[in-house]
């Protein structure tokens, strides 16, 4: 990574637990103004912010009197390759071009591959996308196959592999062989690129409503979306805005399981990534992950698969926005939140994604049926990941559930201790770092450390 990114992560290390996060984030040398200029030139950013009046009216129709917050969405499908990940890719591709690399490599099965491929084409750079595409039968989800298609359409070479642990390791092998730039999802280049999204939301909501948003809901998977958006909001002065992560509940399914791989109907934005990456972000392809969701999340909500598919249809029929289900994970959570907030509050869903072909929700539901998953209308509380997708019969059945962030913080601290090594005693600097990295306090960290020691 030192060779493939031009960054020496050892410079930031302070102890087996602590590293200088802000110094790492600043190490690429680009200011937010620089990144805005880079993205404007790349055809990225300044996407529409839309008020969803019909969806708001729907929520108010079953909310308590005086309740039902105004719902807005940042339409990131307007970016070059159709998602917010164009923001991540644009900075990495600019850096690769500026540093003189001949090409770029990224490991992803999702929208990021399309974004990297698109930006690499604009910069006349070679591009390789490593993609976890199939189970052992060489059967792939239609959404993932569609991602392969669009990457190849942009001229990238797509290296497909079956589900398992080799995605990042094969990327590293290719970096060694080619000498290309590592367009990692988790480097400071990529995460800084998302900060413009948060800054735009703060600025545009203030212009539209006179204040920063009450709540911003972020679809949470690997943590980059949450981290970058929150940093941009805070940097633009929206310090009182509540940051809410949202994931599809896929509890019980293992993302590296061959048998579970095609029994999930979402390739991202689910708890199979959201929980592991929040509780230990440094499981990525870089030594220290710039995406650190627990630093910024005030709440973490989960919704069912059926609720997301319902909201995807509602968005199309009520607002004329046919968008991919992944971004609508946040929209389902936003409808649940808006119901309980006062009518003068504002809720912003900070991204959408393009849809079509295999990414369309009908294709995903048909694939679920083909893999023995029951799909029917009913009470979404009866949804069982990998076995049934229950689509609500009425919008008032959409109810997001709070995840236990305190428990996730404990898991993160336990993981940090385990990676530090047996017998390591955290210092005061470590305690301060853990408090910042879990969005808690030194006192909370001290209590957690004491409880873990007793256990």
Position 358 scores a pLDDT of: 86
pLDDT digits (tens, 9 = 90+) for 226-245: 999 999 999 999 999 999 99
Position 166 scores a pLDDT of: 81
For residues 382-393, average pLDDT: 96
Position 249 scores a pLDDT of: 95
- Locate tokens 């539901």: which residue? 365
Quick one: tokens of 50?
Answer: 């839309």
How far is 151 from 405, CA to CA, in rounded Å? 36
Confidence of residue 40 (pLDDT cuts 50, 70, 90): very high
Position 163 scores a pLDDT of: 84
List C-alpha distances in Å: 116 to 1, 21, 111, 226. 18, 25, 9, 20
Per cent of the chain over pLDDT 70 is 100
Confidence of residue 37 (pLDDT cuts 50, 70, 90): very high
Q: Give me the DSSP letters along 50-82.
A: EE-HHHHHHHHHHSPTTB--EEEEE-GGGSTTS
Residues facing residue 276 across a β-bridge: none
List C-alpha distances in Å: 326 to 23, 111, 261, 277. 32, 10, 17, 17
Does pLDDT of 455 surpass 80?
no
Position 254 scores a pLDDT of: 84
Position 169 scores a pLDDT of: 87
Confidence of residue 261 (pLDDT cuts 50, 70, 90): confident
Dihedrals phi, psi of 159, to nearest 5 degrees: -100, 105
Does pLDDT of 41 surpass 90?
yes
pLDDT digits (tens, 9 = 90+) for 363-375: 999 999 999 999 9
Position 262 scores a pLDDT of: 86
Quick one: tokens of 340?
Answer: 């309980």
Q: What is the mean pLDDT of the chain?
A: 95
Position 214 scores a pLDDT of: 98
How far is 392 from 125, CA to CA, in rounded Å? 46
How far is 52 from 37, CA to CA, in rounded Å? 29
More confident residue, 229 or 170: 229
Confidence of residue 260 (pLDDT cuts 50, 70, 90): confident
Position 167 scores a pLDDT of: 83
CATH code for residues 83-188: 3.40.50.1100
Position 153 scores a pLDDT of: 96
Query: How, if at all, do strands 103-107 and 126-134 pair?
Result: parallel
How far is 14 from 22, CA to CA, in rounded Å? 13
Of the candidates 306, 313, 321, the one whose C-alpha atom is nearest the C-alpha of residue 391 is: 306
Architecture of domain 43-80+193-402: 3-Layer(aba) Sandwich (3.40)
Which ranges in 238-357 belong to alpha helices (H)?
A: 271-279, 305-319, 325-340
pLDDT digits (tens, 9 = 90+) for 402-435: 999 999 999 999 999 999 999 999 999 999 999 9
CATH 3.40.50.1100-classified regions of the chain: 43-80+193-402, 83-188
């Amino acid at each position: 990574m030192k060779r493939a990114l031009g960054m020496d992560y050892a410079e930031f290390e302070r102890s087996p637990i602590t590293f200088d996060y802000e110094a790492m984030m600043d190490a690429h040398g680009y200011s937010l103004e620089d990144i805005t200029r880079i993205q404007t030139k790349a055809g990225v950013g300044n996407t529409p912010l839309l008020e969803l009046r019909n969806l708001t009216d729907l929520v108010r129709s079953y909310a308590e009197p005086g309740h039902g917050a105004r719902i807005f969405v940042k339409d990131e499908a307007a970016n070059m390759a159709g998602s917010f990940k164009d923001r991540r890719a644009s900075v990495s591709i600019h850096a690769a071009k500026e540093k003189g690399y001949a090409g770029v490599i990224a490991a992803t099965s999702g929208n990021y591959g399309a974004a990297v491929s698109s930006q690499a084409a604009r910069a006349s750079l070679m591009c390789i996308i490593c993609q976890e595409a199939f189970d052992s039968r060489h059967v792939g989800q239609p959404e993932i196959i569609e991602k392969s298609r669009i990457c190849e359409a942009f001229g990238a070479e797509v290296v497909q592999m079956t589900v398992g642990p080799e995605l990042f390791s094969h990327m590293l092998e290719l970096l060694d062989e080619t000498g290309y730039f590592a367009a990692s999802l988790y480097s400071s280049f990529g995460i800084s690129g998302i900060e413009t999204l948060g800054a735009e939301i703060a600025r545009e909501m203030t212009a539209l409503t006179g204040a920063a948003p009450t709540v911003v809901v972020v679809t949470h998977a690997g943590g980059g979306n949450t981290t970058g958006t929150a940093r941009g909001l805070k940097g633009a002065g929206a310090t009182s805005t509540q940051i809410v992560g949202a994931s599809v509940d896929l509890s019980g399914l293992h993302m590296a399981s061959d048998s579970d791989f095609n029994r999930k109907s979402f390739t991202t934005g689910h708890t199979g990534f959201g929980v592991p990456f929040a509780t230990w972000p440094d499981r990525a392809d870089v030594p220290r992950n710039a995406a650190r969701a627990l630093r910024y999340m005030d709440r973490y909500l989960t919704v069912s698969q059926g609720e997301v598919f319902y909201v995807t249809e509602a968005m199309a029929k009520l607002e004329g926005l046919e968008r991919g289900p992944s971004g609508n994970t946040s929209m389902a959570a936003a409808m649940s939140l808006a119901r309980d907030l006062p009518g003068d509050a504002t809720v912003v869903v900070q991204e959408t994604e393009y849809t079509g072909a295999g990414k369309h929700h009908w294709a995903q539901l048909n694939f679920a049926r083909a893999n023995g998953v029951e799909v029917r209308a009913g009470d979404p509380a009866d949804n069982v990941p990998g076995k049934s997708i229950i689509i609500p019969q009425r919008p008032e059945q959409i109810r997001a559930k709070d995840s236990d962030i305190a428990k996730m913080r404990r898991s993160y601290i336990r993981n940090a201790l385990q990676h530090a090594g047996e017998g390591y005693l955290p210092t005061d600097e470590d305690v301060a770092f853990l408090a910042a990295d879990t969005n808690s306090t030194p006192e909370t960290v001290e209590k957690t450390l004491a409880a873990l020691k007793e256990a």
